[in-house]
Amino acid sequence: MKNSNHNDHDYKIKSIDKILNDTSYHIEYNGYLANHSKHAPIALLRLGANLNIINNFYNRYIKNTEIETQKKSDYHICEENWKEYLGKKSSFNSYYNFFKNKIEINGLSKVLIDFIPILIPGWMGSLAHGTIHLGWALDIKNKCMISEGLAYICYSFLSCHPEKIEAGTENTKTFDSPLESFLNILEDINKEPTQFKEYIQDLIDKEKIENNFYIHPNINRMSNQFKIAALLNYEHLLIYQDQKWFKNSNIDKVWDELFYLVTLIYLYYPSNFICLHLITSLHAIKEISFYLNQHEEQKCIKNYWIGMNCVLFSLESLPNKDLFKNLIKKNNNNFDKYDDPKIQVYWTQIIEKAYLEKEEHNPKLVYVLKKLWEENNFKSVFRLAAGNFIESS
């Protein structure tokens, strides 16, 4: 449905800063759908698009969605009460002003150092879109959007409960990488796939009765957002096992392994809307972690691991371990030659396709995966995954 306010929209060519600094629209619409109007323009800019292309996307998005104008806040958010309304889907604009003022007074780095350790456990709220908003804002260093991102995480906060790992049972199996840990999860789940599906259903039924967290009425009680929230509330032991690599001092290696893993998952479930968010949100969390010390960066990784697995568990059917191992074998040692004309044509075609996309997630996918391809010695898996666009809704 078209936005009823689109006739009032200014269709003049805007700079990227004017697009990102526009605060006239609310961060969500229809009660739970994320406003993506600023994400794709960043990806398009990073992919080399000109302002005409970026504005065409932005204007089309504003026109063709039910995007809502900014809402008045129910509460005045301040130093004394900002934690009180975490995850209440309330007072976004007041949260925005709270963080805007904080950044103006204390500087960006101090605000992120002070607040991210508290907020990162809630990164999965609204299917990680607050985190994505913040991380992509940090990618382009736009302070307005950074304040929005911090506000959005507060607005949608949904805890991963990382304390359950610290208080949980000791993992008797030791794994050196995210990939090994994930294969261990698949091995356990694949043993009793029917039992796993029943577990998910029992968990959903239990939450319907207990109603432990706020879910907007527009969200179907069988939706992935509901399942993820329920999984975070009733922890699965496989998700909350401690992992040796959580404390790996070579953090760059862990980030690389996580990106490789989620890209393989996306190839296993090609063009899967939910799995795509694992890639774009991981990019966001890494951008956020740049401002933190090693200990807090490791906590970011731990929280991502919890949320990532809850997302995958919400699909109710995890990859077959043998098929996934075959996917690893097929892609592990394949690298492109940067100057191969066929490879360059491949990327050119994908990028040009992204320029014309109505589906806002696809330019983001291409940008992140091309960046990963370049940073990982042109590993083919990232290029192959980039071509799997999701369909417009």
The span from the CA of 306 to the CA of 229, in Å, is 12
pTM of full prediction above 0.85: yes
Confidence of residue 221 (pLDDT cuts 50, 70, 90): low
Which residue did the predictor score with more confidence, 219 or 391?
A: 391
For residue 250, report the phi and psi dihedrals to the nearest 5 degrees. -85, 75
- What are 122-167's pLDDT values in tens digits? 999 999 999 999 999 999 999 999 999 999 999 999 999 999 886 5
Tokens found for residue 50: 């000109």
- What are 52-108's pLDDT values in tens digits? 999 999 999 999 999 999 999 999 999 999 999 999 999 999 999 999 999 999 999
The DSSP H or E segment spanning 68 is none
- What are 280-339's pLDDT values in tens digits? 999 999 999 999 999 999 999 999 999 999 999 999 789 999 999 999 999 999 999 999
Beta bridge partners of residue 25, listed in sequence order: 69
69 SS3 class: strand
Q: End-to-end CA distance of the chain: give it in Å, rounded.
A: 11
Tokens found for residue 214: 């706020």
| pLDDT for position 4 | 42
Start-end of H helices in the chain? 16-20, 39-46, 51-64, 92-106, 108-119, 129-140, 143-156, 163-167, 178-191, 193-210, 224-233, 251-268, 273-289, 294-313, 321-331, 341-355, 361-375, 380-386
Confidence of residue 6 (pLDDT cuts 50, 70, 90): very low
CB 364 within 8 A of CB 280: yes
Q: Is the pLDDT of residue 2 over 50?
A: no
For residue 381, report the phi and psi dihedrals to the nearest 5 degrees. -60, -35
| pLDDT for position 218 | 66
Q: Give the mean model confidence (pLDDT) for residues 361-384.
A: 98
CB 282 within 8 A of CB 257: no
Please name which of 163, 174, 133, 203 lies closest in space to residue 306, comparing C-alpha atoms.
163
For 239-300, give the DSSP string: TT---GGGG-S-HHHHHHHHHHHHHHHHHHSTT-HHHHHHHHHHHHHHHHHTTS-HHHHHHH
| Among the ranges given (23-27, 78-82, 162-166, 238-242), the one the predictor scored with the smallest mean pLDDT | 162-166
| Among the ranges given (18-27, 136-145, 217-226, 342-351), the one the predictor scored with the smallest mean pLDDT | 217-226
